[in-house]
Structure 1
Amino acid sequence: MPTRILPAVGDADAVRSITTLLSQLPDAEPVAPVVDSTQLVDTLARLAAESVDELPEVVVVHERIGPVPALELIREVALRFPAVGVILVTSDASPGLFQAAMDYGARGLVALPLHYDELASRVQAVAAWSVGVRRHLGAGADVFTGVGGTVVTVSGAKGGVGATLTAIQLALAAQASGRSTVLVDMDLQTGDIASFLDVQFRRSVVDLAAITDISPRVLADAVFRHDTGVALLLAPGEGERGEEVTDRAARQIVSALRSRYEVVVVDCGAQLGGAGAAAVEMADAALLVTTPDVVAVRGAKRAVRMWDRLQIRKAEETTVVVNRHTRGTEIQPHLIQKITGTPVAGTAIPAHFKELQGVVDAGRVHELDNKSTVKQALWALAGELGLVKAREGAGAHKGGGRGDRGAVSFRRRRELGP
């Protein structure tokens, strides 16, 4: 059986060098290379969604891959696709880097410049390991893709547009439909999820920031189980401690969560720091909430352009959600789409604050009445994103549920058009 090898190389010269050598290996089947970290993870997720057997046995990661650093990328691949063997190609073959690569989940390291014998030996060993793991797991191969691992980030075009309420209701909808769900408050200085859900907490996301190997037990100690069943990982009570959550820590935390929960909803707030940017970059679906007014839409446009410049997220991979929508406003969703250059969610959230005022003032937005048009729209949005597990013969909720394929499929549908 041929060994499928997926190169992840950003440099054009390195691509030619690596693919030429790989094509010469016995029983090797190199596949089309990917040029950055986002494309690698998306490719593996797409293949895993079709069938675990479609995943390559070996992934070769070049040290200059970007925008996510090579070691961080290796950690994410190892966590999400644990039967895929990863080889790091690097000019630094020191014992220190070798140990770091192994700690991050690599199965081998090959030094630059490449030599046929060394590359062939490493690929053969890693492929044999991958085949052995899959054979050992047998019928349990579904674990390769994790529990589900759909990550959705919710950011605000500016403060006060409703990003936190949106994130909470998306998480509630996913949990109510039968998906294990965690809601993360990555608005590290001013996060309000605890206040919206009337919870007192002792631990926060900061408690995971300095831990390099987040075990299930450590994760369980950090999350708070809400009465609704949603797991909560909250922002610190002392906002200044939010600086302890670096972009590297955020990647580790999100990766650990997506390996334990079917749905991970991350509230990134309106001020995107390093941790929030890392979450947006990793997300299967990145939502940007705006209201249909000039100030908010301009804020959305600035955010989209900034994410693109910083290579956090391309405009076409960002979905704008219109909150407080009315038919009478001059700024309608189609105009927002034109201004921001992004897709706009098909579900707009109506402007009915009176429905929300009581539960917001009480800090119990999870008790919002099922008849609320705002709740129905937000749960319909959850269905549009694929977060709601459809029941046989019916949606999981009156307002939502258009399938069970996850946010990656949602993004593919947008790329294909209506």
Structure 2
Amino acid sequence: MAEKPQPEIVTFPTTDNKTLGAAAYVADRKTEALLRDLLPKWGYGNAQIGRGGIRDAIRDYAKQAMPDVLIVDISGVSLPLSDLQELANICPPRVHVVVLGDRDNVGLYRDLIDIGVTDYLVKPVPSDLLYRAVARASGRLAARSAEPRTGKTVAVYGVRGGAGATTAVFNTGWLLANTFNRHVMLADLNLANGSLALEMGLEPASGLAELLTTPERIDNVVVDRATLEAEEKLKVLASEVELGRDESYDEAAVARLMTHLRSRYHFILQDIDRSRPAVAMSILKKADVRILVMDATLAAVRDCARLLRFLGEADESREVIIVLNRARSRGAGEVPMDRMTRFIGRPIDIVIPFEKKKLAVASLNGAPVVREKAAITDAYIRLAGMLVGQKEGAKRYRSGWFSFLRGR
């Protein structure tokens, strides 16, 4: 009897003339040899392939960028779903995960697909099945999951001028990147007078203004050129256009930019420009999470109540977080907390304590105030924790991947 021919394996074309990125952590020599033979033929010439398991992947990529495709082995792992969720916490939305294992279990397969794994293959892995799994992970074939993983957009809005929205964006974003190991983009949408880059000690460029005024040009190359790198997992988009120069943009341009960024970052924090109320309200409506930063003045309480009514009518399914920032020492004109919550109709979620000296020193140094151990740091950790689904600070997050996979 003639031997059955093996399925033809074609070579993947490269994307944007670049070699595709991949890494594999496998537990046995046979699978390692198979991957070393096949991945270069499929366009992954620089693939990192080695012996190990999912815990090794978590260790190696906790502090460094991940490739586009990650292959992990869960053979012998007692709690694979738990470990995969820990991996997901540090895995940007653009990364696709192929899982190998030694259990031919339909229930396990369905659980893994449900949480967004591209494919689950039982060893020994036939080359044609491996090819199709990697093809799905690289976008050459349609993924099994109907909903792609996307990051969250977080609109941060200062209810009154000087309430501290920019400081909240900087410090919350820094904690998400450094304490919670998420990939974070900060976007200062005030093109003329924004101070986010200044507060972070960065030199703003013209890139964000170009993206918002010519949104048809938005692609990976243009966005990367416009992006300022604060840290490995913390990026910034900020511009400082000349005074008197018209650099107006509309909500459609912001929406297009956010759609692009959601596939690359866990969180995109938007520092909203209050001087353009129509655009600002549209951004607030569409954001996955809305953070309203207020002080304790009567005017701020009134405006917060108005915003809550507006946002409640817009979409009650999107989360609203109210932050009371004590940006100045308490004075006679401060509204008491009980009257404040009664007037706006709900409790304050986070109270940022007054730390004048620490904030001043951090601002002069272009550093986040949350690097220091202080009451203000604890408050911002609670705020960042709420964004990743925790109610009590920087504990290990266990349900994050599910929300990202469902486009939250």
- The CA deviation string for residues 55-83 of structure 1, in whole angstroms up to 9 with x for no partner, is 9xxxxxxxxxxxxxxxxxxxxxxxxxxxx
| One-letter amino acid of the structure 2 residue matched with residue 187 of structure 1 | N
Measure, in 2, the Cα distance between the counterparts of 1:404 and 1:276: 33
SS at 1:384 equivalent:
helix
Task: Kindly report which structure 2 residues correspond to 1:259-338, keeping only aligned pairs within 5 A, or say none.
Answer: 259-307=263-311, 311=314, 313-314=315-316, 317-324=319-326, 331=335, 333=337, 335-338=339-342
- CA RMSD in angstroms comes to 4.1
Measure, in 2, the Cα distance between the counterparts of 1:145 and 1:381: 27
Aligned equivalent of 2:174: 172
Distance 1:219 1:334, change over 3 A: farther
Aligned equivalent of 1:197: 200
TM-superposed deviation, 1:134: 9.8
Task: Kindly report which structure 2 residues correspond to 1:16-415, keeping only aligned pairs within 5 A, or say none.
Answer: 137=136, 141=143, 146=148, 148-177=150-179, 178-209=181-212, 210-212=214-216, 214-227=218-231, 229-238=233-242, 243-307=247-311, 311=314, 313-314=315-316, 317-324=319-326, 331=335, 333=337, 335-342=339-346, 344-345=348-349, 347-360=350-363, 362=364, 364-366=366-368, 368-386=370-388, 400-401=394-395, 403=397, 405=399
SS at 1:264 equivalent:
strand
Measure, in 2, the Cα distance between the counterparts of 1:407 and 1:241: 43
TM-superposed deviation, 1:304: 2.9
- The CA deviation string for residues 174-230 of structure 1, in whole angstroms up to 9 with x for no partner, is 111321110010133421101101111323321112132522222111111114641
Measure, in 2, the Cα distance between the counterparts of 1:404 and 1:272: 38
Aligned equivalent of 1:11: none
TM-superposed deviation, 1:289: 0.6
Stretches of structure 1 that go unaligned for 5 or more consecutive residues are 1-49, 56-132, 411-418
Q: Going by fraction, where is helix more abundant, 1 or 2?
A: 1
TM-superposed deviation, 1:306: 4.4
TM-superposed deviation, 1:401: 4.2
Aligned equivalent of 1:69: none
TM-superposed deviation, 1:378: 0.8
CA contact (8 A) 1:236 1:242 kept: no
TM-superposed deviation, 1:365: 3.3
Measure, in 1, the Cα distance between the counterparts of 2:358 and 2:219: 41
Measure, in 2, the Cα distance between the counterparts of 1:358 and 1:342: 34
Measure, in 2, the Cα distance between the counterparts of 1:336 and 1:408: 35
Measure, in 1, the Cα distance between the counterparts of 2:260 and 2:249: 15
Measure, in 1, the Cα distance between the counterparts of 2:258 and 2:275: 19
TM-superposed deviation, 1:285: 0.9
Measure, in 1, the Cα distance between the counterparts of 2:114 and 2:389: 24
Distance 1:173 1:135, change over 3 A: closer
Measure, in 2, the Cα distance between the counterparts of 1:407 and 1:333: 36
SS at 2:252 equivalent:
helix
Measure, in 1, the Cα distance between the counterparts of 2:267 and 2:395: 14
Aligned equivalent of 1:80: none
SS at 1:348 equivalent:
strand
- The CA deviation string for residues 214-247 of structure 1, in whole angstroms up to 9 with x for no partner, is 2222211111111464110114333555743211
Higher-RCO chain (CA-CA 8 Å, sequence separation at least 6): 2
| One-letter amino acid of the structure 2 residue matched with residue 156 of structure 1 | G
TM-superposed deviation, 1:294: 1.4
Distance 1:156 1:261, change over 3 A: same
How many residues are matched?
275
Measure, in 2, the Cα distance between the counterparts of 1:306 and 1:407: 30
CA contact (8 A) 1:250 1:276 kept: no
CA contact (8 A) 1:384 1:401 kept: no
Distance 1:353 1:187, change over 3 A: same
CA contact (8 A) 1:285 1:317 kept: yes
TM-superposed deviation, 1:359: 1.8
Measure, in 1, the Cα distance between the counterparts of 2:148 and 2:362: 35
Stretches of structure 2 that go unaligned for 5 or more consecutive residues are 1-109, 116-131
| One-letter amino acid of the structure 2 residue matched with residue 159 of structure 1 | G
- The CA deviation string for residues 328-350 of structure 1, in whole angstroms up to 9 with x for no partner, is 997455543332235531x3211
- State the identity as a percent: 24
| One-letter amino acid of the structure 2 residue matched with residue 302 of structure 1 | R
SS at 1:160 equivalent:
coil
Larger radius of gyration: 2
Normalising by structure 1, report the TM-score. 0.55
- The CA deviation string for residues 295-326 of structure 1, in whole angstroms up to 9 with x for no partner, is 221221233344456x3x55984221111189
SS at 1:351 equivalent:
coil
Normalising by structure 2, report the TM-score. 0.57
Measure, in 1, the Cα distance between the counterparts of 2:336 and 2:147: 39
Measure, in 2, the Cα distance between the counterparts of 1:383 and 1:324: 20
